[in-house]
Amino acid sequence: MSKSLSADLTSLAADLELALAMADHADLVTMKTFQSSSLRIETKPDLTPVTEADQSAEKLLREVLMQERPLDDILGEEFGASAITSNRRWILDPIDGTKNYVRGVPVWSTLIALTINGVPVLGVVSAPALSRRWWAAKNSGAWTRALGTEPKRIQVSGITEISDASFSYSDAIGWPKNDALSSLNSSTWRQRAYGDFWSHMLVAEGAVDISAEPELGAWDIAALIPIIEEAGGKATAFDGSPALQGGSLVVTNGLLHDRVIHQLEA
């Protein structure tokens, strides 16, 4: 770790407290219109849906940051990036899993991350329809809480063989044409498409051993990385490069990572 990054990490406790409060605010906005017949839905240029809840939640998060961290940069899925003026950048996905959200499926979340010098150092994943939340800050462990329970520290599994591993993904869209998905499906013990953020949080909890998605934006990835790494796991792009710049994500308990990357590249 660089000396400059180490120095910047001293304020992370306050940043995490802010991020958790931001998630509380976002939960109120997103749950207000979840499964509502009055929810307005539009289609973005890439033909993916966006709702009034996506936009309202991100606007709220940006307003909080502009008040509480006015010198920090912001990147959000719905409203893009602010000018680069700081080594600190907040990365926001107001609703990860919008397609589930619009159909009334409870597997969606708000993702809040902080990067310092391009390194994700803090992440919050809040899934209010599942009554679950996960969070982590660098060197502080990974945690989860279900509604009405005390926070619990989490860690990845100790599975050492792919043939014993449980594998989760979102769907078959966007995978490489080398049958990588088929290879992982056929070589693992169990396969499920829990989807989106949930696949990766299940790896962090040790309930699943491998998860992967082929086409993602930085806002889909940034909040997940600190949680996975603080739980003892590993997260990279499909080619093994840093996930945040790679546009894809493979997550493992760390013990299986090199072999999974080999299968993805074969």
pLDDT, one tens digit per residue, over 134-160 is 999 999 999 999 988 999 999 999 999
Q: In what order do the strands lie in the sheet with 80-81?
A: 80-81, 73-76, 88-96, 109-116, 119-127, 132-137, 142-146, 152-153
Domain end call among 122, 148, 174 = 148
- State the residue range of the domain holding 137: 3-148
Answer yes or no: do 141 and 26 share one domain. Answer: yes
Contact 223, 125 (CB under 8 A): yes
Is 155 inside any structural domain? no
- CA-wise closest residue to 159 among 232, 225, 214, 227: 232
Tell me the pLDDT tens digit for each residue of 174-231.
898 778 899 999 999 999 999 899 999 999 999 999 999 999 999 999 999 999 999 9
Quote the tokens at residue 43.
């289609």
Q: How far apart are CA 130 and CA 105, in angstroms?
A: 10
CA distances from 26 to 11, 31, 94, 113, 266 (A): 23, 8, 8, 14, 41
Provide the pLDDT for residue 47.
41
Answer yes or no: do 10 and 136 share one domain. Answer: yes
- 3-state class (DSSP) for residue 264: helix
Answer yes or no: do 43 and 137 share one domain. Answer: yes
The domain total for the chain is 2
Is 55 inside any structural domain? yes
Answer yes or no: do 173 and 255 share one domain. Answer: yes
- CA-wise closest residue to 230 among 90, 91, 133, 121: 121
**By mean pLDDT, which of 44-58, 80-94, 117-131, 250-264 is the weakest?**
44-58
- The CATH number of the domain holding residue 130 is 3.30.540.10
Which residue type, as a one-letter code, is found at position 70?
P
Q: How far apart are CA 252 and CA 165, in angstroms?
A: 10
Answer yes or no: do 111 and 34 share one domain. Answer: yes
Answer yes or no: do 118 and 194 share one domain. Answer: no
Provide the pLDDT for residue 91.
98
Contact 166, 189 (CB under 8 A): yes
Answer yes or no: do 114 and 188 share one domain. Answer: no
Is 121 inside any structural domain? yes
Answer yes or no: do 173 and 144 share one domain. Answer: no
